[in-house]
Amino acid sequence: MNTNLAPILARSTGAADFSNDTIWVSVIKAVAILLFLLLSVLFALWFERRIIARFQQRLGPNVRGPFGLVQSIPDALKLILKEDITVKAADKVIYLIAPVISVFCAFMIYAVIPFGPMVELPGGFTTPLQLTDTPVSILYILGITGLGVYGIVLGGWSSGSSYPLLGAVRSTAQIISYELGMSLALVSVLLVAGSMSTSEIVNSQENLWWAFALLPAFVVYLISAFGEVNRLPFDLPEAEGELVAGYQTEYSSMKFAWFYLAEYINMLNVAAVATTVFMGGWRAPWPLVTLFGEGVDQGWWGLLWFILKIWLFMFLFVWVRATLLRFRYDQFMAFGWKVLIPVALVWLGLVAAFQGVRHFTSFDPTAIDVGGLSLRTVLFGIAGILIVVTIVMYLIPDRGKKPAVEGAGAKVPEPADEPFDAFAGGYPVPPLPGQKLPPSTRRARVTTPAAPAEDETTDEEKTDG
Amino acid sequence: MTNPYIPLLIMGGLALLLGVGGLAASAVIGPKRYNKIKVDAYECGIQPSPHSIGAGRFPIKYYIVAMTFIIFDIEVVFLYPWAVSFAELAGFGLIAMFGFLFLITVPFVYEWRRGGLDWD
| Mutation for testing the A interface, residue in B2, B5, B9, B18 having most A CBs under 10 Å | B18
- Predicted confidence at residue B24, as pLDDT, reads 87
- Which tens digits make up the pLDDT trace of A311-367? 999 999 999 988 888 888 888 888 888 888 899 989 988 888 888 888 777 777 666
Q: Is the pLDDT of residue A433 over 60?
A: yes
- ipTM, two decimals, is 0.87
Instruction: Kindly determine whether residue A23 and residue B6, on different chains, have CB atoms separated by under 8 Å.
Output: yes
- CB interface of A with B, residues 342-381, below 8 Å: 345, 348-349, 352-353, 355-356, 359-360
- Which tens digits make up the pLDDT trace of A166-187? 888 888 888 888 888 899 999 9
Q: Report the chain A residue with the minimal C-alpha distance to residue B98.
A: A349
- Which tens digits make up the pLDDT trace of B67-79? 888 888 888 888 8
Of A159, A329, A352, the CB nearest to B94: A352
Q: Give the per-residue SS3 of chain A.
A: CCHHHHHHHCCCCCCCCCCCCCHHHHHHHHHHHHHHHHHHHHHHHHHHHHHHHHHCCCCCCCCCCHHHHHHHHHHHHHHHCCCCCCCCCCCHHHHHHHHHHHHHHHHHHHHHCCCEEEEEECCCEEEEECCCCCCCHHHHHHHHHHHHHHHHHHHHHHCCCHHHHHHHHHHHHHHHHHHHHHHHHHHHHHHHHCCCCHHHHHHCCCCCCHHHHCHHHHHHHHHHHHHHCCCCCCCHHHCHHHHCCHHHCCCCHHHHHHHHHHHHHHHHHHHHHHHHHHCCCCCCCHHHHHHHCHHHHCCCHHHHHHHHHHHHHHHHHHHHHHHCCCCCHHHHHHHHHHHHHHHHHHHHHHHHHHHHHHHHCCCCHHHCEECCEEHHHHHHHHHHHHHHHHHHHHHCCCCCCCCCCCCCCCCCCCCCCCCCCCCHHHCCCCCCCCCCCCCCCCHHHCCCCCCCCCCCCCCCCCCCC
Our CA-based measurement puts residue B45 at a distance from the nearest CA of chain A, in whole angstroms, of 12
Using an 8 Å CB-CB cutoff, list chain A residues near B46.
none
Using an 8 Å CB-CB cutoff, list chain A residues near B119.
329-330, 333-334
- Domain boundaries in chain A? 23-395
- Which tens digits make up the pLDDT trace of A120-165? 887 778 888 888 888 888 999 999 988 988 988 888 888 877 788 8
Instruction: Kindly determine whether residue A169 and residue B62, on different chains, have CB atoms separated by under 8 Å.
Output: yes
- CB interface of A with B, residues 128-187, below 8 Å: 131-135, 138-140, 157-163, 165-166, 169-170, 172-173, 176-177, 179-180, 183-184, 187
Using an 8 Å CB-CB cutoff, list chain A residues near B43.
161-163
pLDDT class of A103 with cuts at 50, 70, 90: very high
Task: Using a CB–CB cutoff of 8 Å, tell me whether B38 touches chain A.
Answer: yes
- CB interface of A with B, residues 437-456, below 8 Å: none
Instruction: Kindly determine whether residue A161 and residue B33, on different chains, have CB atoms separated by under 8 Å.
Output: no
Task: Using a CB–CB cutoff of 8 Å, tell me whether A109 touches chain B.
Answer: no
Using an 8 Å CB-CB cutoff, list chain B residues near A360.
90-91, 94
- Predicted confidence at residue A411, as pLDDT, reads 55
Instruction: Kindly determine whether residue A85 and residue B120, on different chains, have CB atoms separated by under 8 Å.
Output: no
Please state the rounded mean pLDDT for residues B34-43: 77
- Predicted confidence at residue A442, as pLDDT, reads 65
Using an 8 Å CB-CB cutoff, list chain A residues near B56.
157, 160, 162, 165
Q: Is the pLDDT of residue A418 over 80?
A: no
- Predicted confidence at residue A443, as pLDDT, reads 59
Task: Using a CB–CB cutoff of 8 Å, tell me whether A76 touches chain B.
Answer: no
Q: Is the pLDDT of residue A7 over 70?
A: no
Our CA-based measurement puts residue B50 at a distance from the nearest CA of chain A, in whole angstroms, of 9
- Predicted confidence at residue A294, as pLDDT, reads 75
CB B12 within 8 A of CB A108: yes
Please state the rounded mean pLDDT for residues A18-24: 79
- Predicted confidence at residue A3, as pLDDT, reads 38
Instruction: Kindly determine whether residue A333 and residue B119, on different chains, have CB atoms separated by under 8 Å.
Output: yes
Of B16, B51, B80, the CB nearest to A104: B16
Of B7, B19, B117, the CB nearest to A103: B19
Using an 8 Å CB-CB cutoff, list chain A residues near B65.
173, 176-177, 333
Task: Using a CB–CB cutoff of 8 Å, tell me whether B53 touches chain A.
Answer: yes
- Which tens digits make up the pLDDT trace of A286-318? 777 777 777 777 778 888 889 999 999 999 999
pLDDT class of A269 with cuts at 50, 70, 90: very high
